[in-house]
Homo-oligomer: A and B are copies of this chain.
Amino acid sequence: MKIAIAGSGAMGSRFGFMLHQAGNDVILIDKWDAHIKAIQENGLTVNYNGTEKVINIPIYRPDEVKEKVDVIFMFTKAMFLGSMLEEIQPIIKEDTQVVCLLNGIGHETVMKQYVSLENMLIGVTIWTAGLTGPGKIELEGTGSTEIQNFKPGGEEKAKEIVKILKDAGLNGIYSEDVKFSIWRKACVNGALNATCTLLDATLGEMFETDQAISITKNIVNEFVQVAEKQEVQLDFEDTVEYIIKTSHELGHHYPSMHQDLMQHNRLTEIDYINGAVARLAEEYGLKAPTNALITELIHAKEQILNAK
């Protein structure tokens, strides 16, 4: 199976590595020059549950890649999804399956502009991955990856991709309702990412404050209302409880948005998490002032820090 990973940061590289190890013909695609150079010269260095491995795997810039592929896993940052799909048009065949595994909500709208509905799959993964430098990743723990065809009738092809993921140890699961899982993950991120970023705090520090539960409830409540309009039934109490549990389990972690903005001075995915809820609420005539303010504060912080 010829597979492309579009966006080969930490998580993309994990998928690339594991799919390659399972015997697939994998190519990586990325835009970070130092990362590309390191992999081209020295291979991809993977610390896999404590053991270091180096694999030779092709990596290209999006405007250089020409080989047609059977499956593409999209792993860009949310704001770069459209430009990536635009640039990699040459590798998409009539039946190339494109699997969107980005964080956040609402990527279908962008995907549809570049991929036929029959070939579109959406999903969510709870694997973790760390990039420790150009060409170097660190993988530990376990996870799973739920996917589903976007259009009814595509179950068979979706299940083929689930098998590929299973065979590579990526614990693929065919989901009958992947939208629920996507919204639930987005809601968890929506409650934890931006608040810890604004407060410059770990999950544990944030959740030790007297205000954490109240802030979380206000955020989740708006997610639940908007999700309902999208025919996704997020349970308020369950979700709040799940977020609190997550904050305990990952207490000493800074969430990825904090890493992006506060540590690496990069733009965040806020428009696809809290910002998506604020925007959809407005479309539906609902109110989402908490998510709207959080989104504006994060964008203001991006500008103050001159994030790129």
Residues in chain A within 8 A of chain B (CB atoms):
195, 198-201, 205-206, 208-212, 214-215, 218, 287, 289-290, 292-294, 296-297, 299-301, 303-304
Q: Across the interface, which residues of B come within 8 angstroms of A296, CB to CB?
A: 211, 214-215
Q: Across the interface, which residues of B come within 8 angstroms of A212, CB to CB?
A: 300
Known: A205-B304, A206-B304. A218 touches B299 (CB 8 A): no
Q: What 6 A-B pairs come out closest when comparing CB atoms?
A: A289-B289, A211-B296, A209-B300, A211-B300, A209-B303, A201-B304
- Asked if A303 contacts B210 (CB within 8 A), the reply is yes
- Extra contacts, 19 of them, besides A201-B304, A218-B289, A293-B293 (Cβ < 8 A), are A195-B300, A198-B198, A199-B297, A206-B304, A209-B299, A209-B300, A209-B304, A210-B299, A210-B300, A210-B303, A211-B296, A211-B299, A212-B300, A214-B296, A215-B296, A215-B297, A218-B293, A289-B289, A290-B293
Contact of A304 among B199, B214, B297 (CB under 8 A): B199
Bound complex: CA A289 to CA B199 (Å): 18
Q: Across the interface, which residues of B come within 8 angstroms of A218, CB to CB?
A: 289, 292-293
Q: Across the interface, which residues of B come within 8 angstroms of A303, CB to CB?
A: 208-211
Bound complex: CA A206 to CA B300 (Å): 7
Number of copies: 2
Bound complex: CA A198 to CA B293 (Å): 12
Q: Across the interface, which residues of B come within 8 angstroms of A294, CB to CB?
A: 293
Bound complex: CA A199 to CA B303 (Å): 10
Q: Across the interface, which residues of B come within 8 angstroms of A206, CB to CB?
A: 300, 304
- Asked if B293 contacts A199 (CB within 8 A), the reply is no
Known: A218-B289, A289-B218, A290-B289. A297 touches B201 (CB 8 A): no
Bound complex: CA A163 to CA B130 (Å): 69
Q: Across the interface, which residues of B come within 8 angstroms of A289, CB to CB?
A: 218, 287, 289-290, 293
Q: Across the interface, which residues of B come within 8 angstroms of A297, CB to CB?
A: 195, 198-199, 211, 215
Chain B residue nearest to A295 (CB atoms) is B211
Bound complex: CA A49 to CA B214 (Å): 47
Chain B residue nearest to A302 (CB atoms) is B209
Chain B residue nearest to A288 (CB atoms) is B289
Q: What are 11 sample pairs from A and B whose C-beta atoms fall under 8 A apart?
A: A201-B304, A209-B300, A209-B304, A211-B300, A212-B300, A215-B293, A215-B300, A218-B289, A218-B292, A218-B293, A293-B293
Bound complex: CA A201 to CA B211 (Å): 23
